Each structure stands twice: as C-alpha cells, then as structure tokens.
C-alpha cells in the first residue's frame, strides 16, 4: 500500500513536560488506524501532529504525497447561527473552492449524511457531528483525522456515524481517529496504535477484517411518525430513501426487530437483502443535484 504520511522520531513537549516520546508512525492510502489509550495518553496531541496542526518539538512529519489533503474533525464543534449549507458554503469559499464544485459537493454530502438543512443552533449533537465531519470532507481529503468521533452521541447516532465513516473509507479515504468504543474499532479499523504515557505501546494490524453486517430493507405503508421511531432502534444505520417505497440500512442483528415493528405498524416489506457496501448514486460524492437556493 502506498504510504501517505509518516512521523519519524517525533517528540512533543509543552514546557518541561514531554507528552509524546519518540513516535515512529505512518499511514497508507485507504487505511484506517485507531489510536487508543487512556485519558491523557497523548492521543489528541498525536492527532494534531498527524493533521499538521502542531509542530513536533523534535523529529519530522513527512507527507509522502505532496501536498497531502487532510481533513480534521475536532472533538467539539460549536452550534453556530447558520444552516449547514450556509456554513459549509462559507468554509468552501474560505478554502478557495470553485462555487459550482462546492455546491455539488455539499449536496452530495447532504445526501450521504441524510442531514436536514436547519439552523445549527437547533441541531442535535448527532446532527452537529455530521456537519463537523462534512466540513472536514469538503475538499475530498486523502486523509481524515477524527478526535473521538462518537463522543457524546447516543447509540443510534453512533451506529449512523459508523455507517457513514465506513462509506467514506470505502470510497478510498484513509482515516485515523482517537477512539474508546470497541464497536468503532472492530467495524472500521485495520490497525490499532495504542499509546501509553505518550509512547507507542503497541502498533499492529487487527486480526479480522472490519465487519459491520448490514441489511437493506424496502417497505411501504408506514406512517412518517413510525419512520422516525424506527430511527431510534439501536440497529438503525441510515436512510437510503424516506419516500415510497422507503429504504433503510440496518445492522443485521436488529433486522428481525425492525421488520416486526414495520409489520405491526401496518406496513409491508417489499424487499430485504444484504447490504454489502455497494455504491448508490445517493452517496456518490462526485455527482448530485444542485442545492436549491443555498448561497455558497
Ligand atoms: N497545550 C497544552 N499545554 C500543556 N499540556 C498539554 C497541552 N495539550 C495537552 N497537554 C497535556 O498532554 C497530555 C496528553 O494530552 P492529550 O489531550 O493529547 O491526551 P488524550 O490521550 O487525547 O486524552 P483524552 O482521552 O482525555 O482526550 C495531558 O497530560 C495534557 O494535559
């Protein structure tokens, strides 16, 4: 695999305190590396080095692909007084993106993230985290760096976020993230770098292919309120369509519960099949209709 970025002999000091010690680390194109370790182990500091947001006190950061496009997703993201399309439009403009290209990209991401374009001050934590990840994906980075992407999210938002990150990875973006949740590691990561007191304690490939068994359900005759209730099932991942027929992707182990709920609510199932990660036009970043209105 082609290497994207490497850290060689990196130390980071804050005053007299050494927070990272002699870090040798790299990431390849399309790879996903989970950075684990207890609180204060140095994960966020390492992510800042990887993203190029802070400089090593000693050692070097080498981009094997230059210039490397890196997207950074901070742990906390403010609820600003903008709609997501407005905010993302401004971010695109600041980053010098072409207006038409930005509109297409933002619309394609809204489709993938299934995000309503309402004021961010009214958004839930899960919705805000979607905007946070979208701002990092605007310029189609080769490397996405996320600081605890599931932190503070409820279980169904976590599952939805895992589904989105798997899709981002499947489209070829390398990902590295600090993480505490075992499910995120097993469903997404190829490798784990474990930090302890600022040193790499372990860095190795994970034994199994990251797996999140999913099913695609198509159904009709369900009231919109029931559709919203379906999202609260812990196995719900994301909508492909809320129209007629409605189509959703769920975790395989939750399929029976969700199908039962649909039938008991007066709906009819018209198709059930494994969802093996194939691309649909709704999640193709390169295409997508124009945003109606939406100043960019
Ligand atoms: N700007 C800074 N100035 C001084 N010390 C810092 C600074 N940033 C981080 N540290 C210290 O570096 C150490 C590692 O912090 P870091 O945030 O990287 O750990 P972490 O593994 O991400 O922790 P957590 O899981 O709690 O987020 C901590 O002891 C922290 O207090």
CATH code assigned at 218 = 3.30.70
CATH number at residue 186: 3.40.50.300
> 41 alpha carbon to ligand 1 midpoint, in Å?
7
- Please check whether residues 165 and 273 belong to one and the same domain: no
Residue nearest to atom 17 of ligand 1 (CA): 44
- Please check whether residues 32 and 169 belong to one and the same domain: yes
For residue 289, being part of any structural domain is answered with no
Domain membership of residue 72 as a residue range: 3-205
In angstroms, the CA 250 to CA 233 distance is 9
Residue found under tokens 């099949």: 273
- Please check whether residues 109 and 227 belong to one and the same domain: no
Q: Which of 25, 22, 37, 47 is nearest to 197 (CA)?
A: 37
Residue found under tokens 């198509």: 218
Residues constituting the chain:
296
**Which atom of ligand 1 has the smallest separation from the CA of 198?**
14
Total number of domains constituting the chain? 2
- Please check whether residues 146 and 255 belong to one and the same domain: no
Q: Could you read off the pLDDT of 120-148 as tens digits, one per residue?
A: 999 999 999 999 999 999 999 999 999 99
- Please check whether residues 197 and 219 belong to one and the same domain: no
> 181 alpha carbon to ligand 1 midpoint, in Å?
19
Category of 9 on φ-ψ map: left (φ > 0), alpha (ψ -120 to 50) or beta: left
**Which atom of ligand 1 has the smallest separation from the CA of 75?**
27
- Please check whether residues 169 and 231 belong to one and the same domain: no
Cα–Cα distances in angstroms (integers) from residue 84 to residues 18, 87, 123, 240, 291, in the given order? 39, 5, 10, 20, 12
In angstroms, the CA 197 to CA 246 distance is 49
Per-residue confidence (pLDDT) for residue 292, from 0 to 100:
34
Residue nearest to atom 12 of ligand 1 (CA): 19
- Please check whether residues 170 and 218 belong to one and the same domain: no
Residue nearest to atom 9 of ligand 1 (CA): 45
> 53 alpha carbon to ligand 1 midpoint, in Å?
15
Cα angle 217, 167, 95; round to 5: 135
Cα–Cα distances in angstroms (integers) from residue 142 to residues 7, 65, 87, 138, 258, in the given order? 17, 9, 22, 11, 36
- Ligand 1 pocket mutation pick from 11, 13, 14 by most atoms within 8 angstroms of CB: 14
Instruction: Tell me the ipTM for this assembly.
Output: 0.97
Angle between helices 99-113 and 84-94 (to 10 degrees): 140
> 148 alpha carbon to ligand 1 midpoint, in Å?
14
Category of 140 on φ-ψ map: left (φ > 0), alpha (ψ -120 to 50) or beta: left
Per-residue confidence (pLDDT) for residue 40, from 0 to 100:
95
Point out the domain boundary residue: 184, 205, 226.
Answer: 205
For residue 294, being part of any structural domain is answered with no
For residue 291, being part of any structural domain is answered with no
Q: Please give the full DSSP string across 213-244, using - where no structure is assigned.
A: -EEEEEEE---HHHHHHHHTSTTEEEEEESSS
> 168 alpha carbon to ligand 1 midpoint, in Å?
28
- Please check whether residues 184 and 271 belong to one and the same domain: no
> 20 alpha carbon to ligand 1 midpoint, in Å?
10
Coil/strand/helix, residue 254: helix
Q: Which of 97, 199, 179, 181 is nearest to 138 (CA)?
A: 97
For residue 290, being part of any structural domain is answered with no
Per-residue confidence (pLDDT) for residue 276, from 0 to 100:
60
pTM across the whole model? 0.77
> 40 alpha carbon to ligand 1 midpoint, in Å?
5
Give the chain's residues under pLDDT 70: 209, 234, 276-296
203-220 CB burial, b ≥16 within 10 A, e <16 = beebeeebebebbbbbbe
- Please check whether residues 153 and 61 belong to one and the same domain: yes
Contact in structure between 285 and 109 (CB atoms under 8 Å)? yes
Lining ligand 1 with CB less than 6 A are 14, 19, 37, 39-45, 178
């Amino acid at each position: 695999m082609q290497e994207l970025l490497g850290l060689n002999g990196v130390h980071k000091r804050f005053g007299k305190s050494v927070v990272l010690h002699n870090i040798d680390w790299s990431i390849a194109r399309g790879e996903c590396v989970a950075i684990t370790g207890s609180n204060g182990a140095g994960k966020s500091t390492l992510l800042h080095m990887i993203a190029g947001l802070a400089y090593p006190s000693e050692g070097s950061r080498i981009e094997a692909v230059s210039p490397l496009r890196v997207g950074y997703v901070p742990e906390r993201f403010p609820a600003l007084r903008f709609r997501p399309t407005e905010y993302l439009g401004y971010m695109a403009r600041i980053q010098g993106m072409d207006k038409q290209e930005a509109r297409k990209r933002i619309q394609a991401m809204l489709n993938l993230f299934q995000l309503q374009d309402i004021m961010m001050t009214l958004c839930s934590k899960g919705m805000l985290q979607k905007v946070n990840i979208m701002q990092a994906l605007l310029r189609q980075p080769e490397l996405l760096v996320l600081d605890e992407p599931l932190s503070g999210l409820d279980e169904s938002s976590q599952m939805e976020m895992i589904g989105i990150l798997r899709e981002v990875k499947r489209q070829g973006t390398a990902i590295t993230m600090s993480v505490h949740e075992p499910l995120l590691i097993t469903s997404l990561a190829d490798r784990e770098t474990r930090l302890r007191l600022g040193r790499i304690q372990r860095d190795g490939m994970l034994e199994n292919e990251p797996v999140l068994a999913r099913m695609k359900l198509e159904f009709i005759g369900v009231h919109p309120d029931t559709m919203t209730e379906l999202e609260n099932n812990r196995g719900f991942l994301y909508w492909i369509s809320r129209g007629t027929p409605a189509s959703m992707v769920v975790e395989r182990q939750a399929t029976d519960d969700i199908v039962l709920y649909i039938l008991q609510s007066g709906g009819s199932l018209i198709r059930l099949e494994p969802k093996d990660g194939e691309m649909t036009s709704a999640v193709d970043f390169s295409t997508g209709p124009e945003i109606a209105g939406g100043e960019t």
